[in-house]
């Protein structure tokens, strides 16, 4: 694996299609995987907040979610192949999940947005097995979301709490899971909900 480091953040040197293939291989091999989709705001925040930097550095892969990151890599003389966004990664994974009947769990967004997201995914990707979902406005200290996810054993967990919450949630709970791809995807449910 090749990386391009920008302001202390090591970005995976990959393109959108190769990255999705990599995640599919990891799902099929049952290898637990934590993905950070980092845009320039995330890189800036990580440089101001050491705890957040620690949370993102624990990811298996950090991808360049935004043209700003790709441009910065170019200026630094160590170019990246292109943008690899959380949104495109999500949509490509849903297509493959539909064919392979992956188990999906959705965490995040407002209740109404989440309900629309679940309905739209069920309509457009009927082969996906949606095993559960929870909105993103829960009591952080008192909930059983991670324990429920651990029992459901999803292949893919979309975490749409916005940064830095989504990365913090994944890092705090990752040890409870045996397998699955866990990816922080910001406002993606708002787009899927329409
Ligand atoms: N969100 C959430 N819980 C929170 C804060 C935000 O579920 O405590 C959701 C919010 O409803 C939205 C998504 O996170 O669907 C992304 O929020 P935002 O646009 O602020 O984050 P960004 O896309 O900049 O990461």
In the predicted model, what is the mean pLDDT of the chain?
98
Mean pLDDT of 107-130: 98
ipTM of the complex: 0.93
Structural domains for the chain: 3-193 (3.40.50)
Report how far ligand 1's centroid is from the alpha carbon of 124 (Å): 23
- Does the CB atom of residue 131 touch ligand 1 within 6 A? no
Cα(53)–Cα(64) distance, integer angstroms: 16
The pLDDT of residue 59 is: 98
pLDDT digits (tens, 9 = 90+) for 6-17: 999 999 999 999
The residue whose CB lies within 8 Å of the most ligand 1 atoms, and thus the one to mutate among 161, 166, 194, is: 161
Cα(190)–Cα(172) distance, integer angstroms: 25
Residue with tokens 């324990």: 147
Answer left, alpha or beta for residue 24, where phi above 0 means left and psi between -120 and 50 means alpha. alpha
Percentage of the chain beyond pLDDT 70 is 100
- Does the CB atom of residue 161 touch ligand 1 within 6 A? yes
Sequential DSSP letters for 101-143: T-EEEEEES-HHHHHHHHHHHHHH-TTSEEEEEE-S---SSS-
Cα(110)–Cα(133) distance, integer angstroms: 11
Task: Using the Cα atoms of residue 23, residue 92, residue 96 and residue 129 in order, give the sign of their dihedral.
Answer: positive
Binning pLDDT at 50, 70 and 90, where does residue 111 land? very high
Report how far ligand 1's centroid is from the alpha carbon of 160 (Å): 6
Cα(80)–Cα(74) distance, integer angstroms: 7
pLDDT digits (tens, 9 = 90+) for 27-39: 999 999 999 999 9
The pLDDT of residue 194 is: 95
Residue 71: phi and psi, rounded to 5, are -65, -40
The pLDDT of residue 172 is: 98
pLDDT digits (tens, 9 = 90+) for 24-68: 999 999 999 999 999 999 999 999 999 999 999 999 999 999 999
CA distances from residue 91 to 50, 52, 86, 172 in whole angstroms, order as listed: 31, 26, 9, 26
Mean pLDDT of 145-173: 98
- Does the CB atom of residue 189 touch ligand 1 within 6 A? yes
Report how far ligand 1's centroid is from the alpha carbon of 38 (Å): 15
């Amino acid at each position: 694996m090749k990386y391009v480091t920008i302001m202390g953040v090591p970005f995976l040197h990959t393109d959108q299609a190769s990255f999705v293939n990599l995640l599919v291989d990891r799902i099929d091999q049952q290898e637990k995987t934590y993905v950070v989709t980092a845009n320039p705001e995330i890189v800036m925040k990580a440089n101001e907040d050491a705890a957040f930097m620690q949370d993102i550095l624990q990811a298996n892969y950090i991808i360049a979610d935004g043209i700003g990151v790709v441009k910065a890599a170019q200026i630094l003389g160590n170019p990246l192949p292109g943008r690899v966004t959380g949104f495109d990664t999500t949509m490509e994974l849903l297509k493959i999940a539909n064919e392979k009947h992956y188990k999906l769990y959705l965490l995040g967004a407002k209740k109404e947005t989440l309900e629309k997201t679940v309905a739209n995914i069920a309509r457009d990707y009927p082969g996906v097995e949606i095993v559960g979902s929870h909105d993103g406005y829960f009591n952080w200290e008192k909930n059983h979301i991670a324990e429920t996810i651990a029992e459901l054993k999803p292949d893919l967990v979309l975490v749409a709490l916005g940064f830095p919450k989504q990365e913090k949630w994944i890092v705090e709970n990752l040890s409870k899971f045996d397998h699955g791809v866990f990816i922080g995807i910001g406002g993606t449910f708002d787009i899927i909900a329409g």
